[in-house]
C-alpha cells in the first residue's frame, strides 16, 4: 500500500520512541500515544515524518476510545499497532508484593494492552480493505522471570496468551499478531543495569544493553511483511546479557 498507518503506544521514550522513529522514517504515518504530551512532541520532532501526537493513558477506556476515534478521523484506517506501553515495579520478593503494586502493573501491561489491541482489532476488521497487524511488546519476562518481579513477569506471560488469541481470532479478518520479546534495550527503564542488578544466584551484576534502534528495525521488518506471512514470536536481546541463556 502506498500509504501505511500505524499507532505506537508508549511512544514518548525508549523502545516506543525507537519504533516510532523507524516507522516514521520509512514512510508510515504514525499516531504517537503516551501519557506525556511533551515527550510525544519530542519524539515527533526527532523522528520527522507525518505524525499525530495524542496524549493517552492506555489504562483508561475513555482515553483509548478517544485515541482510536482520532486515528479513524485523521488517518481513515490502521495497518499496524505496536502495543508497547508498559510499566514495572521495584524488585520485591513475592511475599512482600502488595496488591496495589500488583494492580498498578496489571492495569497498564494487561488492561491497557487489551484495550488498545481490542480497539485496533475492531478497526482493522471493519475497514476496507480489511486486515492489519498487531505487534505486542512481550519482554524476555514473557519466558523467564527476574528475581522479585512477580507483577511484571505475570503481566508479560499474559501478553503471550493475548497475542495467540488475537492471531487465532483474527484469521477470519486478515488480522495477524506478533510478539517481540525484548532483552536489555538501552532505555530509561534499563539505566539501572549499569549500576548492577540482582541475579538469580543472589549476586549483583552489571548487565550489557543494546541500542533500542535494533527493536525499531525488528518491528519495521515485521510491519513491512504482507499479511499472508508473519513472524509470530521473536526475541531481540543484548547478546551478552547473562540471565536468559543457560543457567543462572
Residue 181 lies in a domain: yes
Q: What is the mean pLDDT of the chain?
A: 92
- Distance in angstroms (rounded) separating the CA atoms of residues 74 and 97: 43
pTM recorded for the entire structure:
0.91
Count of the separate structural domains present in the chain: 1
- For residues 131-147, average pLDDT: 92
Residue 56 lies in a domain: yes
Active site residues: 152
Distances (CA, A) of 231 to 63, 71, 155, 220, 238: 30, 25, 22, 12, 20
Backbone φ and ψ for 113, nearest 5 degrees, come out as: -65, -40
Residue 213 lies in a domain: yes
Cα–Cα nearest to 19, from 72, 85, 113: 85
Residue 29 lies in a domain: yes
- For residues 163-178, average pLDDT: 98
Residue 248 lies in a domain: no
- Distance in angstroms (rounded) separating the CA atoms of residues 223 and 217: 10
pLDDT of residue 246: 66
pLDDT of residue 200: 78
Which domain covers residue 218, as residue numbers? Answer: 4-237
Can you give 105-152 as a three-state secondary structure string? HHHHHHHHHHHHHHHHHHHHHHCCCCCEEEEEECCHHHCCCCCCCHHH
Residue 245 lies in a domain: no
Read off the CATH number of the domain in which 196 is found.
3.40.50.720
pLDDT of residue 2: 58
**What does the DSSP assignment read for 176-233?**
EEEEEEEE-EESGGGGGGGG-EE-TTS-EE----EETHHHHHHHHHHHTS-TT----E
Amino acid at each position: 500500500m502506498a500509504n501505511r498507518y500505524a499507532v505506537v503506544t508508549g511512544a514518548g521514550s525508549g523502545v516506543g520512541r525507537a519504533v516510532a522513529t523507524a516507522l516514521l522514517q520509512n514512510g508510515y504515518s504514525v499516531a504517537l500515544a503516551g501519557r506525556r504530551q511533551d515527550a510525544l512532541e519530542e519524539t515527533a520532532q526527532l523522528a520527522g515524518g507525518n505524525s499525530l501526537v495524542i496524549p493517552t493513558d492506555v489504562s483508561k477506556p475513555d482515553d483509548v476510545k478517544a485515541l482510536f476515534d482520532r486515528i479513524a478521523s485523521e488517518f481513515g484506517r490502521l495497518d499496524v499497532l505496536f502495543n508497547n506501553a508498559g510499566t514495572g515495579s521495584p524488585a520485591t520478593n513475592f511475599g512482600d508484593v502488595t496488591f496495589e503494586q500488583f494492580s498498578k502493573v496489571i492495569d497498564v501491561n494487561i488492561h491497557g494492552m487489551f484495550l488498545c489491541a481490542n480497539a485496533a482489532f475492531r478497526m482493522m476488521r471493519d475497514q476496507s480493505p480489511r486486515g492489519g497487524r498487531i505487534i505486542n511488546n512481550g519482554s524476555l519476562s514473557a519466558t523467564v522471570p527476574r528475581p522479585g518481579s512477580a507483577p511484571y513477569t505475570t503481566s508479560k506471560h499474559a501478553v503471550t496468551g493475548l497475542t495467540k488469541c488475537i492471531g487465532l481470532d483474527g484469521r477470519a479478518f486478515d488480522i495477524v499478531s506478533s510478539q517481540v520479546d525484548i532483552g536489555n534495550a538501552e532505555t530509561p527503564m534499563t539505566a539501572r543495569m549499569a549500576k548492577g542488578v540482582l541475579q538469580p544466584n543472589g549476586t549483583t551484576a552489571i548487565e550489557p544493553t543494546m541500542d533500542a534502534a535494533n527493536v525499531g528495525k525488528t518491528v519495521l521488518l515485521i510491519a513491512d511483511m504482507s499479511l499472508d506471512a508473519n513472524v509470530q514470536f521473536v526475541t531481540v536481546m543484548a547478546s551478552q546479557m547473562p540471565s536468559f541463556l543457560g543457567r543462572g
